Structure 1
Amino acid sequence: MAGIGFELKKLFKRTGVLASLRAFGYATVITTGPMLLGIVLLLGLMLICVLGRVSTSDRELLVCMITYVLLASVTVTSFLSMVVTRFTADMLFEERNDCVLPSFWGSSLLMLAAGGVLWGVFLVFSGATFVQGVLLFVLFQELVLVWNAMSYLTAIKDYRNMFRSFFVAIGLALALGFVLVWLGGPPIESLLLAVSVGYGVKAAWDVVLLYRHFPRSNAPAFAFLEWMDKFPALAWIGFFTNIGLFSHLVIMWASEVGVRVKGLFFGAPYHDIPALIAFLTILITTVNFVVSVEVNFYPKYRNYNSLYSDKGTGRDILQAEKEMLAVLKSELFYTSLKQLLFSALAISLGGYLLDLVPLGFNEVMKGYFRTLCVGYGLYAIGNMLMLILLYFIDYKGALRAAAAFAAGSVGFSVISLFFPSVYYGFGFLLAALLFLVLALIRLNYYIKRLPYYILCVQPLVEETAHGPGKRAGGWLEQHFGEERNE
């Protein structure tokens, strides 16, 4: 990610309003990726439904279906996303670029197969029609490819094409959806088809970019599974963070504001729509972390660590540590302050702006929006602190914070069901606050003992992992690698 920050910083240094807008757009698309695409598409489709006078029942079913497929796909990919990111970074550092592309297809195959089976079983019993089920299955597979591709695309820094694919996907999906609804096509099937076409174009575009920047080779496609043995905490960190971030949405479907739309499709429109819009408020921290915190912190971090291997004196190491931590504290403080100010601005002006959008916002929905703006703001700061823990290779500390976030999001959200519905968003807010506090405490504890963790905790020699991941990778390569090479 540091390389991404350096490249984006160059764009932000260019003068002019258009240059700044372009740089901010690049940073937003690159750092938020498919989730932002999904939210924008969902909001756009709702506007199309309003303009096309689609019935409320069809509109709610469409929102449920797209929400389900988004959450299902991101949950499936969350378990491997950090692992393949670490694998890709290691391969690029070792100048083994030929291993990157095979690992993309190997990881994609695993997620498409395992996730496809589970999603297919759900669709059979979901109550969706055959055509709806086929479209949802195709959309799920496309989303898995797009989510996984983003873990690899961040390494190539081809921002212009990544930016273009994002807007082409949005424009094509919304334009096609509007035309199909205007022509009188069945609204649900028409809009699902439009979204599938949009994500299909983005998935194909992303794969072309990967082939353009990484060489084809016969390197093992499942070698990345060994990294599951080396860094098992990364898999669980990604999974727990995802659970903490989205489980409260699922729990609200069983609340007073939840409704059974059709079959196994449940939703809580009064809660889900404000949550999706409130989620957009974390963009300020997500972008600022990449273009400011990492860029200013990373050189100090690299210099500090290099002194241990480049025969730096004790005085040099202490001075470098002091400078590094001063920059880190300053960047974390100002980024957190920006997020809190932006959340306060969203809370203050959100009610007026939401009235301008024909989404049917009422006072209850505005209340959820304000509560969730605070919750997502706290989450964004906590997530930033957790990423710094990963920078320092404190995987145990990051895992504990992520696990507490997941448990808190589930637990507090369930507890909130026993209170009046106006308090529903507070379950996630408390979980995000817990996440932030634990990550802050752990980071403060860790940086006070940096020399100890660098000199006494890290292994003195490289450890070779011989766990289930390596065995599974070998078995898969034996059974599928030969066919791929042929």
Structure 2
Amino acid sequence: MAGIGFELRKILSRDSYTATLRAYLYAGLISSGPWVLSIISVMLIGVLSLGVVVPKVLVHQFLVSVTYLMAISLIFTGGLQLFFTRFISDRLFENQRDLILPNLVGILLIVTLASGVLSILLLGLLFDESFAYRLLVMSNFVVLCNLWMVIIFLSGMKAYNRILLVMLAGYSLMVLSAFLLRFLQMEGLLLALLIGHSSLLFLFLYDILREYPAKCLVAFDFLDRRKIFVSLLATGLCYNLGIWIDKFIFWFNPVTSSAVVGPLRASILYDLPIFLAYLAIIPGMAVFLVRIETDFAEWYERLYAAIRGGETLKHIGLLKEQMILSIRQGLLEICKVQGLTVILLFLLAPQLLQWLGISAYYLPLFYVDLVGVSIQVVFMALLNVFFYLDKRAIVLELCVLFVVLNAALTILSQYLGPSYFGYGFTLSLLICVLLGLHRLSRSLEDLEYETFMLAR
């Protein structure tokens, strides 16, 4: 993330309200833009299709198909995203920029082949829908898997105006295509989704081609056993599985869901509130990225430069204190901003749901989900700090715990009844955050000892 950290520091160095607002806007859109814009775009496609894509159930089938595409593609590529991010970071640290593009092409080839085979097997064995539907779902799945791998480069590139324009253009093209192709029913909407995400994929690839020139086209250096971190593969899988496992439990419980298309099920009661709640993470994500990538990252770099440079223990101790202070201030600021966002949405929620035409019956679950996704922002900030400190074992522990707790507490909430829905997701994150804070405190206390012992 050195690219966005450098750019944010440059913007904030101007020391004006306009520069600060610009920095937070960049950070919010880069960190949560693809996720938030995709939610808004798909919702817009659904609204535009009502009354044209007949019967109405086809629109619902499209929205559910997209949700499963997002969930399975993120879980499928989650481990590879973290693993490949580490590989790229190490090559940048070693100043071997010419290895980045060939290895990106190499991993995209593997992802394309693996996602294609997986989707063909699942669609062929479990679905009886039309060939066009299955072909479009497979194509969308392959494109999404590749897109998630490419998006990891966004925070390392400095052309933020272009990145934001590309995202806006891609999702606008998706909505426009859906409007023009909706006469083709659900297949037209899936084709629009494919057009939008494909345009994003190839435009981002074009930017990466310009940013990282190479001497060869394809390489598979990332498969070198010495460069494979199994813990990162497991962590990425568990983190994304943890995010989605409560949804899958609600989807495949016949009491809380209904069949939609093929084997795909959906829970009308559970799905809508949590997806709306995710739109509230933008302020917290902006603060998270600005604080972690400016204050903390700067003191982190100074601390380890001093260690590598053989500075005195007293000087190293002072830098460590400043780094710890930046972590505390960053987490506190995230809690303040996201807490204020939650309070405002608590007050505005009845009017907001009424304006969206959503029943007030969803309010209690929406409140719980708002708290849950806000805690998730803090959880992500903690994981990011642990990654900086190279505490991969702790991150894996927290992510495995998240999966187990979210699954167990969600199942328990289903036994307790609708009044407890959503608490599994929220409480699991709260427990993981509290444990993460404890682990972070212990890790920072032993930082000098572990650093010097590992360096021996």
- TM-score of Structure 1 vs Structure 2, range by shorter chain: over 0.9
Q: Secondary structure at 1:55's aligned position in 2? A: coil
CA separation of 1:259/1:14 partners in 2, compared to 1, >3 Å: closer, same or farther?
farther
Matching residue within 360, 365, 368 for 2:362: 365
Shift of 1:385: 0.9
Which residue of 2 is the match for residue 353 of structure 1?
352
Q: Secondary structure at 1:221's aligned position in 2? A: coil
Q: Secondary structure at 1:312's aligned position in 2? A: coil
Structure 2 CA distance, aligned partners of 1:89 and 1:203? 21
Which residue of 2 is the match for residue 217 of structure 1?
215
In the alignment, structure 1 residue 30 sits paired with structure 2 residue 40 = no
Counterpart AA for 2:374: G
Counterpart AA for 1:129: S
Unaligned runs of 5+ in 2: none
Which residue of 2 is the match for residue 269 of structure 1?
268
The worse-fitting range, judged by mean Cα deviation, of 44-53 and 282-291 is 44-53
CA separation of 1:319/1:76 partners in 2, compared to 1, >3 Å: closer, same or farther?
same
Structure 2 CA distance, aligned partners of 1:227 and 1:329? 37
Counterpart AA for 1:415: L
Counterpart AA for 1:311: G
Counterpart AA for 1:445: R
How many residue pairs get matched?
Answer: 454
User: Quick check: 2:9–2:294 contact (8 Å CA) kept in 1?
Assistant: yes
1:108-141 Cα deviation digits (max 9, x unpaired) = 1222212221122222222331111111111111
Equivalent positions of 1:117-196 (< 5 A) are 117-124=117-124, 125-181=126-182, 185-196=183-194
Structure 2 CA distance, aligned partners of 1:355 and 1:17? 35
1:13-50 Cα deviation digits (max 9, x unpaired) = 66899876665443233212532332122211222133
The worse-fitting range, judged by mean Cα deviation, of 409-418 and 64-73 is 409-418
Q: Secondary structure at 1:36's aligned position in 2? A: helix
Which residue of 2 is the match for residue 42 of structure 1?
42
Structure 2 CA distance, aligned partners of 1:217 and 1:274? 49
Structure 2 CA distance, aligned partners of 1:53 and 1:365? 26
Structure 2 CA distance, aligned partners of 1:168 and 1:14? 29
Which residue of 1 is the match for residue 102 of structure 2?
102
Counterpart AA for 1:429: T
Equivalent positions of 1:20-99 (< 5 A) are 23-50=23-50, 52=52, 54-99=54-99
Structure 2 CA distance, aligned partners of 1:109 and 1:186? 31
1:189-213 Cα deviation digits (max 9, x unpaired) = 1111111111111111011111111
Which residue of 1 is the match for residue 313 of structure 2?
314
User: Quick check: 2:28–2:282 contact (8 Å CA) kept in 1?
Assistant: yes
1:312-338 Cα deviation digits (max 9, x unpaired) = 112212222222212221221122222
Which residue of 1 is the match for residue 236 of structure 2?
238
Structure 2 CA distance, aligned partners of 1:327 and 1:293? 8
1:427-476 Cα deviation digits (max 9, x unpaired) = 111111122112111101111111111112x253xxxxxxxxxxxxxxxx
User: Quick check: 1:79–1:235 contact (8 Å CA) kept in 2?
Assistant: yes
CA separation of 1:128/1:422 partners in 2, compared to 1, >3 Å: closer, same or farther?
farther
Shift of 1:11: 3.8
Structure 1 CA distance, aligned partners of 2:429 and 2:27? 24
Counterpart AA for 1:323: Q
In the alignment, structure 1 residue 423 sits paired with structure 2 residue 424 = no
CA separation of 1:228/1:372 partners in 2, compared to 1, >3 Å: closer, same or farther?
farther
Q: Secondary structure at 2:156's aligned position in 1? A: coil
Structure 1 CA distance, aligned partners of 2:52 and 2:10? 44
User: Quick check: 1:31–1:287 contact (8 Å CA) kept in 2?
Assistant: yes
Which residue of 1 is the match for residue 204 of structure 2?
206
Structure 2 CA distance, aligned partners of 1:269 and 1:14? 48
User: Quick check: 2:406–2:425 contact (8 Å CA) kept in 1?
Assistant: yes
Shift of 1:86: 1.1
CA separation of 1:180/1:188 partners in 2, compared to 1, >3 Å: closer, same or farther?
same
Shift of 1:215: 1.2
Q: Secondary structure at 2:260's aligned position in 1? A: strand
Which residue of 2 is the match for residue 259 of structure 1?
258
Which residue of 2 is the match for residue 448 of structure 1?
445
Which residue of 2 is the match for residue 464 of structure 1?
none
User: Quick check: 2:45–2:178 contact (8 Å CA) kept in 1?
Assistant: yes
CA separation of 1:171/1:444 partners in 2, compared to 1, >3 Å: closer, same or farther?
same
Q: Secondary structure at 1:127's aligned position in 2? A: coil
Structure 1 CA distance, aligned partners of 2:179 and 2:370? 31
CA separation of 1:14/1:134 partners in 2, compared to 1, >3 Å: closer, same or farther?
farther
User: Quick check: 2:410–2:424 contact (8 Å CA) kept in 1?
Assistant: yes
Shift of 1:307: 2.0
Instruction: Give the RMSD, CA atoms, in angstroms.
Output: 2.2
User: Quick check: 1:247–1:410 contact (8 Å CA) kept in 2?
Assistant: yes
1:308-363 Cα deviation digits (max 9, x unpaired) = 22221122122222222122212211222222221222222122112212xx4112
Structure 1 CA distance, aligned partners of 2:350 and 2:371? 15
1:160-180 Cα deviation digits (max 9, x unpaired) = 221111111111111121223
Which residue of 2 is the match for residue 284 of structure 1?
283
Shift of 1:375: 0.8
User: Quick check: 1:98–1:219 contact (8 Å CA) kept in 2?
Assistant: no
Shift of 1:56: 3.4
Structure 1 CA distance, aligned partners of 2:350 and 2:226? 45
CA separation of 1:273/1:127 partners in 2, compared to 1, >3 Å: closer, same or farther?
farther
Shift of 1:394: 1.0
CA separation of 1:18/1:91 partners in 2, compared to 1, >3 Å: closer, same or farther?
same
Matching residue within 420, 434, 441 for 2:431: 434
User: Quick check: 1:401–1:439 contact (8 Å CA) kept in 2?
Assistant: yes
Counterpart AA for 1:281: A
Structure 2 CA distance, aligned partners of 1:244 and 1:311? 42
User: Quick check: 1:343–1:374 contact (8 Å CA) kept in 2?
Assistant: yes
CA separation of 1:346/1:14 partners in 2, compared to 1, >3 Å: closer, same or farther?
farther
Structure 1 CA distance, aligned partners of 2:187 and 2:217? 41
Shift of 1:270: 2.6
Shift of 1:220: 6.1
